[in-house]
Amino acid sequence: MYFCLHMTLVVGFLIFIHFTKIQNEVRELKFNITPKCQSPLVETDNSLAYVEGVDGCGLPCNSPLFTKEEHEQVQRFTQTLVAMCLTTNLFAVVRNLTLSHLMEVVLIMSIIKSLRS
């Protein structure tokens, strides 16, 4: 009986120490209260760009999900597509202007030829 009482006290004391230790760890838990925005957020003055619940901080213009190299690769791809579209549109405009001018010349020549006959 003495052994059981002794073991109960020892187990109770160990549980008390365990919970006291947990409570001390929770009490010593420190939150980040620095005035700077945590990554990936950046400081901004635009209230429309604020992240909900974090005043003064917003997402950066470049997505934090992609690396700088990936951003540059997409930018080069987009620039290439824009250049190709502009080139083909320029050719189309020049061709249409040339064809319309040629059609006018052909029409005038056919009118002159029909008047001579």
For 33-91, write each residue's pLDDT tens digit: 666 787 788 888 888 888 888 778 888 887 778 888 998 999 999 999 999 999 999 99
Question: Is residue 35 reached through a cis peptide bond, with omega within 30 degrees of 0 on the bond before it?
Answer: no
Put simply, whether the predicted model's pTM sits higher than 0.85 gets the answer no
What is the number of alpha carbons within 13 Å of residue 41 lying toward its C-beta? Answer: 17
Q: Please give the pLDDT value at position 1.
A: 46
How many CB atoms are located within 10 Å of the residue 58 CB? 19
Cα–Cα distance list, 51 to 5, 34, 48, 64, 65 (Å): 58, 17, 9, 14, 16
Mean pLDDT is highest, among 1-10, 26-35, 75-84, for 75-84
The residues near 57 (Cβ < 8 Å, ≥ 6 apart) are: 37, 38, 41, 42, 43, 44, 50, 51
Higher pLDDT, residue 95 or 31: 95
